[in-house]
Amino acid sequence: MPLLWLFLIVLAIAATAFVLSRSRVLAMSGQDRRTLHSLPNYYGSNAAMKSAIPALLVLVIWLLAQPFYVNNAVSGMIPDSAIADSSSRGLVLAEVRRAADGLDLAVARGEMSEDEARNLRTDFTDVTTRLENAGAIVTSQITQPILRAAQRFRVMNTIGSQIMAVVVLLIALAGAFWAFRETDPVFRARNTVEQGIRALLIAAASIAILTTLGIVLSLVFNTIEFFRLYPASEFFFGTNWAPSFSGRGGASDLGILPLLWGTFYISIVALIVAVPIGLFAAIYLSEYASPRVRAFAKPMLEVLAGIPTIVYGLFALLTVGPLLVEVFGDDGLGWMQSGTAVMTAGLVMGIMLIPFVSSLSDDIINAVPQSMRDGSYGLGATQSETIRQVVLPAALPGIVGAILLAASRAIGETMIVVLGAGAAARLSLNPFEAMTTVTAKIVSQLTGDSDFASPEALVAFALGMTLFVITLGLNIFALYIVRKYREQYE
């Protein structure tokens, strides 16, 4: 693992720089440490920081940039004639990478010498069989252009890594040298180190922005790619969802409406379960319950929120589904065909959302000032009248916000619907029928074997984009309502 070694060497250089700079400044100060501007460790830290951080930064950037450069260079080597009609440049490049990996493996196992790996030709040796003998995964016959590209790929990667190692080590040494040179009792080492730490703190805080940026960019680029292959109007207004399973070919119907309908239907069922139960639980806990009941019931309800969704998914598939079939199925009322249905997923999702609604509403009800309650009692209202006519209206915006947050949770929930809702996309009103949702289809379109460049796979990014926009909108709206409400009493 040369990368690990490189990393360790850079750290070793930094450590040496730390020790050298620290002892240099101590030697320069003579016996009297009070002549130093900063504590001796700051001089050491300054040197360590200046040698390690720029070097590691260059290392990371190089690692990200090199594959691009190599890919572009290798991609130029493959003539259009080498790309079969049924294939694409991306697939051929993947094949090149696999062949290069195979060559690496063959060399590592000693089945091929390094020279052989660099200069093999398909017309003289059967490379495919030799690579397979070495245990490499080769999906198709390796042709001469692919082999040449793979050889070039290997060579460029090797040389690139070597240059990278040299550059990174030089930067580390240069940084160490620079810091060593400027080490001097009057040098303001603490201020420099603190500025460096501050920069690191800002970088850490910026990761949140980078993550959002990453989400948006990966969704947007792939969505644009999808709309190039499939008309946007048919995606947004199509009422039929029927992707073809061949992987390629334009026979797919990819209309989002049945998926959106399934998503909203299941979320509505979930909210119908969760909102009354959660709200009444919150009212009871905050207004009626004795401290002992509260201390027991509140954490117990919150346990429901801590259970992973995969557990709820299994609960829907294996417990609730069969139970509902027993009651509503052919042996009972005859409304339900199979265990996976809107009702199953909605019910279980509702259970999951109960603690979500109840603890958010609990906080909001508790935030209603006691003076409002006292005023109401003073006019002779009973406790329930006070709650219904004073507390709840005052808390209403917050509660609406909580319900919206719960709705956004329900829309984005994946495991319960993947396991409990079924796979058929339908526009139907019957809650006992299987329907599917946006999230479930993202999973099924991206976990298959289809190639990432096909509209069947890319549609998942468009679905993800829709999901992201809807949940983001709901969250922002909900937070806006909650904030606005809070300001009223502060």
Partner 1 sequence: MTDASMDSAPVKGRLTTVDARTRKRNAAEKRFKAYGLVAILIGLFFLVVLAVSILRSGLPAFTQAEVQVEFTLTQEEFDAAESQMLKTRAYEDLFIAALQGQLEERGLEVAFDPAAIERLLGKTGGTIREFFLENPDRIGTPVTFDLAASSRVDGYFKGRVTRDTVVDSRFLMVSDLDLVDALADAGIITSSFNWNFITGSDSGVDNPGGAGIGVSVIGSFFMMLVVLALSLPIGVAASIYLEEFAPQNWFTDLIEVNISNLAAVPSIVFGILGLAVFIQFMHLPQSAPLVGGLVLTLMTLPTIIISTRASLKSVPPSIREAALGVGASKMQTVFHHVLPLAAPGILTGTIIGLAQALGETAPLLLIGMVGFIARAYPEGVVSGFIDPNSAMPAQIYTWAARADAGFYEKAWGGIIILLIFLLTMNIIAIILRRRFERRW
Binders of partner 1 among residues 55 to 84 (CB under 8 A) are 64, 67
Q: Name the segment binding partner 1 (CB under 8 A); options: 49-57, 102-110, 116-124, 351-359.
A: 351-359
Does position 102 interact with partner 1 (CB under 8 A)? The reply is: no
Does position 166 interact with partner 1 (CB under 8 A)? The reply is: no
C-beta of 177: minimal distance to partner 1 in Å?
26
Does position 389 interact with partner 1 (CB under 8 A)? The reply is: no
Closer residue to partner 1, CB minimum distance, 27 or 205: 205
The torsion of the CA quartet 357, 361, 362, 367, rounded to 10 degrees, works out to 160
Does position 150 interact with partner 1 (CB under 8 A)? The reply is: no
CA distances (Å), 470 to each of 258, 275, 466, in order?
A: 16, 20, 6
DSSP secondary structure string for all residues of 209-252: HHHHHHHHHHHHHHHHHHHHHS-HHHHHH---EE--TTSSSS--
Closer residue to partner 1, CB minimum distance, 46 or 408: 408
C-beta of 218: minimal distance to partner 1 in Å?
3
Does position 383 interact with partner 1 (CB under 8 A)? The reply is: yes
SS3 content of the chain, % helix, strand, coil (to 5): 75, 0, 25
Binders of partner 1 among residues 402 to 441 (CB under 8 A) are 405, 408, 411-415, 418-419, 439
Distance of CA 197 to the CA centre of its chain: 28
Based on DSSP, count helices (H) and strands (E) in the chain, helices before strands.
19, 2
Closer residue to partner 1, CB minimum distance, 120 or 418: 418
d(CA 490, CA 93) in angstroms, rounded, equals 61
d(CA 444, CA 403) in angstroms, rounded, equals 29
Among 159, 447, 484, 488, binds partner 1 (CB under 8 A): 447
Binders of partner 1 among residues 458 to 477 (CB under 8 A) are 460-461, 464, 467-468, 471-472, 475-476
Contact between 270 and 472 (Cβ < 8 Å): no
Q: Name the segment binding partner 1 (CB under 8 A); options: 74-82, 217-225, 365-373, 428-436.
A: 217-225
C-beta of 129: minimal distance to partner 1 in Å?
26
C-beta of 421: minimal distance to partner 1 in Å?
14
Does position 377 interact with partner 1 (CB under 8 A)? The reply is: no
Two tokens, residue 26:
């101590």
Binders of partner 1 among residues 265 to 324 (CB under 8 A) are 276-281, 283-285, 287-288, 297, 300-301, 303-304, 306-311, 313-315, 317-319
C-beta of 335: minimal distance to partner 1 in Å?
22
Q: How many CA atoms lie within 13 A of 447 on its CB side?
A: 7
Closer residue to partner 1, CB minimum distance, 108 or 300: 300
Which has the closest alpha carbon to 451: 80, 147, 94? 94
C-beta of 115: minimal distance to partner 1 in Å?
27
Residue 461 burial (CB count, 10 A): 22
Closer residue to partner 1, CB minimum distance, 129 or 299: 299
Count of residues near partner 1 by CB under 8 A: 90
Contact between 224 and 459 (Cβ < 8 Å): no
Q: Name the segment binding partner 1 (CB under 8 A); options: 46-54, 164-172, 251-259, 444-452.
A: 444-452
Q: Name the segment binding partner 1 (CB under 8 A); options: 10-18, 21-29, 114-122, 383-391.
A: 383-391
Does position 392 interact with partner 1 (CB under 8 A)? The reply is: no
Beta bridge partners of 254: 241
Does position 385 interact with partner 1 (CB under 8 A)? The reply is: yes
Cα R_g (the chain), whole angstroms: 32
Does position 351 interact with partner 1 (CB under 8 A)? The reply is: yes
* Cβ burial, residue 40 (10 Å; 0-12/13-18/19+): middle
Binders of partner 1 among residues 187 to 216 (CB under 8 A) are 190, 194, 197-198, 200-209, 211-212, 214-215
C-beta of 58: minimal distance to partner 1 in Å?
17
Go through 183-210 and write b for each residue having 16 or more CB atoms within 10 A of its CB, e for each that does not: bebebebbebbeeeeeeeeeeeeeeeee
Does position 260 interact with partner 1 (CB under 8 A)? The reply is: no
What φ, ψ does residue 227 adopt, rounded to 5°?
Answer: -70, -15
